[in-house]
A and B are shown apart, each in its own frame.
Chain A
Amino acid sequence: MASLAKMHFGDVLLVPIQEEMHDTAAEEVIEEIITEAEKMSARGVVIDISALDIVDSFLGRLLQETVRALAAMGKKVVLVGIQPGVAITLIELGLPLDGIETAFNLESALKKL
């Protein structure tokens, strides 16, 4: 996946999700995040989805699974930049992402880790 830009902030992995992805691409991105988090033995992972204006049930569920997988590996995860429309869709889809830390910008996300 060429479009995935990963950044390291000390022991924190930062992944901005760039644009709307089709299902296969989304799965690849998620797998890459998890692999990378393991490789760099990250303490925390920040996933920035502020570029997403819409989500569907597939991506919503995928996000939930990713966060759970990372949590199972003992990583702290913060989702950053969930847009109002995306938040409403997630709630309507019955995916309130309970127990996931959220923040509206990178600064407050890093504070929460």
Chain B
Amino acid sequence: MARSNIDYKQIFMDTPVAVRAVSKDKIVLAANKEMAALSGVPMDKAIGMPCYEQFSGELCETACPLQQAMAGEKVVVEVEKKGVDGSEILVRLYTTPLVSENGEALGIVESYIDITREREDQERVNSFQKTLLEQASPVIRVWDGVLGVPIMGILDSERTQLIMESLLEEIVSREAEVAIIDVSGIAMVDSAVADHLIRTAKAVRLVGALPILTGINADIAQTIARLSIDLEGLKTMSTLRDGLRYAISLQKGD
């Protein structure tokens, strides 16, 4: 096919991304089919309309990106817009400057991709992951004033943060005096994991409870020794049973 036979207008109209051209005075110059579907404004009605009426969103009144985009800056933003039925939708906007043949800046071209579903799916996955992580290390009330957290599997910084938050909240709300952190279920201990454990224990101490690390088996103990990790000032015990016995003996002493 000869090059001159390509119908650019058809390409513009049928492209599966919502595209519109907006003049520097914020008037819609062109809009394709997908744009009509996304905004709910038919193609013929859209032309001549103010852009913020055809497809209004949170940035229209506060931080309209038109000036930036006309200056040639590539704007890529995620922005909330009003969808066809008035509901909030999340779109990703890409802009390119619209320039006439003799180089005059006419306005901008905006391309929108609806990422509402994508975002919702992502949020669902995130919250599921968080629940899973929390359930993997529940804070258990093992005795009066004694909380226990069994840590299973892999301990990374994100998980440490979660455990720390839920453990500290529990300690403060229940006025627990002792928190036993049982590490016998941890898959692997390296210096990063040891550091996470120590940070958790220190945070427990700051809110006013006594941290006890239990479940330090021979493997973990050797790793700790080999890495010359300093456990000074932290109460450690080999089994959860020892830890619990110690915690209860402390309370009888009161």
Spell out A's residues near B (CB within 8 Å).
79-84, 86-88, 90-91, 96-99, 102-105, 108
Contacts and interface: CB of A to CB of B under 8 A. Distances in A.
- Interface residues of chain B: helix, strand, loop or mixed (majority): helix
Contact of A87 (B161, B175, B206, B233): B206
B206 A91 contact: yes
Given A102-B208, A105-B175, A88 B203 contact: yes
A83 to B, nearest CB: 7
B206 A82 contact: yes
Contacts, number: 55
B233 A84 contact: no
Interface residues of B, number: 18
Nearest to A81: B208
Most-contacted residue by chain B among A83, A87, A96, A98 (CB, 10 A): A87
Contacts of B233: 98-99
B177 A87 contact: no
Interface stretch (B66-74, B86-94, B126-134, B162-170): B162-170
Contact of B205 (A102, A105, A108): A102
B207 interface: yes
Contacts of A79: 206
8 A-B pairs with the lowest CB-CB distances in the bound complex, closest first: A84-B168, A104-B208, A87-B206, A96-B202, A103-B208, A87-B203, A102-B208, A82-B206
A97 B208 contact: no
A108 B206 contact: no
Contacts of B207: 82-84, 87, 102, 104
Given A84-B169, A102-B207, 7 more contacts: A81-B208, A83-B172, A84-B165, A96-B199, A102-B206, A103-B208, A104-B207
Nearest to A104: B208
B203 A104 contact: no
A32 to B, nearest CB: 24
A80 B165 contact: no
21 contacts: A82-B206, A82-B207, A82-B208, A83-B172, A84-B165, A84-B171, A84-B207, A87-B206, A87-B207, A88-B161, A88-B164, A88-B165, A90-B203, A91-B206, A97-B206, A104-B171, A104-B175, A104-B207, A104-B209, A105-B208, A108-B177
